[in-house]
Chain A
Amino acid sequence: MTGSIALLGQPNSGKSTIFNNLTGARQHVGNWAGKTVEKNEGSYTYKGTKYTVTDLPGSYGLSGNSDEEIITTDYIKSEQSDLTVVLVDASQLERSMFMLAEFARLDKPAVLVLNMIDVAKDMGKAVNAEALAKKLGIPVLPFNATDSKDYDKLKKLIADELKAPHKLIVPSPAEHKNVKEDSRIKFEWVDEILSDVTKSEQKVYKMSGFDRIMTRPVLGKVICICVVLLAFLVAMIIMMPFMGIGQMIPAVLHDPVDKLLTGWNVHPWLVSIFSTMLPNVLYFTISMASFVFGVNIVFGFLEETGFLARAAYQFDGLLSKLGLQGKAICPMLMGFGCTIGGACGTRVMDNWGQRMLAMSIVWAIPCASIWSIIPVISGMFFTWWQTLLVCVGILVYAVVTMIAVSKVFSRKLAPKNTRSGMIMELPPYHKAHWKHIFKEAFFKALDIFKRALRTVTLVSILFYVLSFSKDGNVDNSLLYRIGTFIEPVTKFFGMGWQTFMAFISGAFAKEAVLGTLNAVFMGDNSLIEATFLSNTTSTDTALLGTAMSSAISPAEALAFMFATTFNIPCIMALSTTYKESHSLKWTVKVALFYICNALILSFIVYHIASIFI
């Protein structure tokens, strides 16, 4: 026996919480056939029967012509699921029942879940669920998404309904060609149904004291920025234990593996892959995943409590200049921590074009790794105040890049006529559902970990082969030969072969830049070991500084720093963008844009700097 149900509800109706709690880890993310819209499916077992759950995409209604709305309507019509669970927010019943009015026209079996019944009660709103059920002809379940007992009730209800399904018995709202008129009819339908079910009276709204401060034009923005800085601090604290464990892996594994394999007479080449490279890849992917974990926990918290909606309100005006809307502020802020997290964070945006645009803009935001390497490199060539200038220059150019990306791509991705300004609700402040936040962050981190392990291993092996030389000297590697061969071209852009190699490794991962520089300039150990070991053993920056500053000019160093910062963020950011956008074409387009941007920037910086320095 199996059953299939679908979840339908407006944004903020608590749909994703219910979906996650119903299905737990048994989830599958794909996309709807031929569309860039994400398809979330999951399953659970109740009393020996397996139920599949489909999370229907969509916005506030079903009548618009967005991909999401068409997919949802078609899905319900096609009867691929046996029952639709319609979620409404009991604390805003009148408005959220609009979705049921839309659904009524499809005339399919359903149950109605009055979510956030606890919030409604706290607000003194009484909803007569029985009267509502009688009127509608379908079961109505008052629901509190944080109460695990309610999930049992829901599962039981679903099981019962699949045996004897109910359809709405009220006549569906009449259809009207005129959109305005059509909506009016639907709300009248809702009002009529709710007339003796709940009392809703227009009360004068009084903003809470905190909200009054949060919505102040200047002070609100300052608070937003402070909260986000604090959030990053907390994210760091969360990730630290994981990083600590990850850091031990290479040290713990290296010697035993080395001994074991050497004992088996394995070729030293392979030995170093297993004893040095793979443990470091593992460490690297763990630190990446723990970063994503930390960033997602703090931002999950900020989103659930309702803080991010306030931030979206604050920054809408600024972001609309980039062709985005206020909601993009969350992924952009996450981008300062980690571009991968930022790309995932674009899920809050409601249409694909805006999401893709937001992701491409997030790429321009220098992530935490960049801020950890730039001051080090800059410090080798410049004084402290010059280094400060370099950092300011990077921030300024980040804004320039964002504007350029928006100019180049927004016409296709967010054409003026489909550009939707921000219309969003500011939900009341909620208590955070910690379990849900942790679960969500854990799944995201796990996903990154799995994908990163695959990608990073592959790229590392490739890099390893290229940088291999029999005597361990970089000058005998394939990389050196390729590097010196194309040097005339890279010189044109302001980078010698060494810095260009570091530039390439920066596209792989920004953390690898220092190690690569160390290998190519010091030349005393194999490139690959330096690249990976720089994560675990600190690079002697003073020594490297002396070597670098005698080998290359400050102008080249400056060009290199800018080129590295504004190149594609890292291989995992690329892979995540592809996964989130489901569009290889656009991911490649944006990547090419960034590579060109970095090279041109390098050219300009080098030639201008050469005049002055």
Chain B
Amino acid sequence: MKLTESKTDMLGKISAVHGDDHFMNRITSIGITEGTSFQTVRNDKKMPVLIYLRETLISLNRADAERIEVEKK
């Protein structure tokens, strides 16, 4: 499923990230790489998605979060 579809407090794994090199660079350098465990902390409509990953609370723009696929652990 897409990250935007994940439910609050879901524990999961990043399964795929889609996008051009520019996007990929930004998203992976902050630590969002395939296979990384994460937790959805907050996912409200029309708001950025909040995830906890690599010991960091990260806020992701919704459009960007659409391009990240995740699976439930």
Contact = CB atoms under 8 A, between A and B. Distances in A.
B25 to A, nearest CB: 4
B33 interface: yes
A369 interface: no
Contact of A180 (B11, B24, B39): B24
A179 B54 contact: no
18 contacts: A59-B29, A60-B29, A93-B55, A95-B56, A98-B29, A180-B17, A184-B35, A215-B42, A215-B44, A326-B59, A421-B60, A421-B62, A422-B48, A423-B26, A423-B61, A426-B50, A426-B58, A426-B59
A205 B30 contact: no
A42 interface: no
Given A423-B60, A425-B30, A64 B25 contact: yes
Contact of A425 (B35, B58, B61): B58
Interface of B: 9, 11, 17, 20-22, 24-31, 33-37, 39, 41-42, 44-48, 50, 52, 54-64
A205 B62 contact: no
A217 interface: yes
Contacts of A393: none
A469 B27 CA distance: 65
In this complex, the member of B9, B29, B31, B37 whose beta carbon has the largest number of chain A beta carbons within 10 angstroms is: B29
A325 interface: yes
Contacts of B60: 421-423
Given A92-B55, A180-B28, A320-B61, 5 more contacts: A65-B22, A184-B35, A202-B11, A204-B11, A313-B47
A124 to B, nearest CB: 12
A187 B9 CA distance: 25
A63 B61 contact: no
Interface string A170-207: 00000000011001100100000000000010101101
A317 interface: yes
B58 A92 contact: no
Given A61-B25, A205-B41, A423-B61, A217 B47 contact: yes
Interface in A296-342: 309, 312-314, 316-317, 320, 325-326
A91 interface: yes
A215 B8 CA distance: 13
A183 B55 contact: no
Given A63-B29, A64-B25, A317-B62, A91 B55 contact: yes
A545 B57 CA distance: 56
A202 B37 contact: yes
Contact of B57 (A61, A65, A200, A425): A425
Contacts, number: 129
A378 B52 CA distance: 52
Leading 4 A-B pairs by shortest Cβ distance: A421-B61, A183-B28, A61-B29, A205-B52
A476 interface: no
Contacts of B41: 205, 207
A457 interface: no
Given A64-B26, A204-B11, A423 B64 contact: yes
Contacts of A183: 24-25, 28-29, 33
A426 B59 CA distance: 7
Contacts of A309: 59
A179 B31 contact: no
A313 B30 contact: no
B29 A426 contact: no
Nearest to A188: B33
A317 B64 CA distance: 12
Nearest to B8: A207
A98 B31 contact: yes
A420 interface: yes
Contacts of A325: 61
Contacts of B22: 64-65, 417-418, 420
Contacts of B52: 205
A94 interface: yes
Nearest to B51: A205
A230 interface: no
Interface in A6-52: none
B55 A95 contact: yes
A421 B50 contact: no
A204 B58 CA distance: 15
Contact of A326 (B28, B48, B55): B48
Nearest to B66: A421
Contacts of B24: 179-180, 183
A424 B56 contact: no
In this complex, the member of B44, B45, B50, B57 whose beta carbon has the largest number of chain A beta carbons within 10 angstroms is: B57
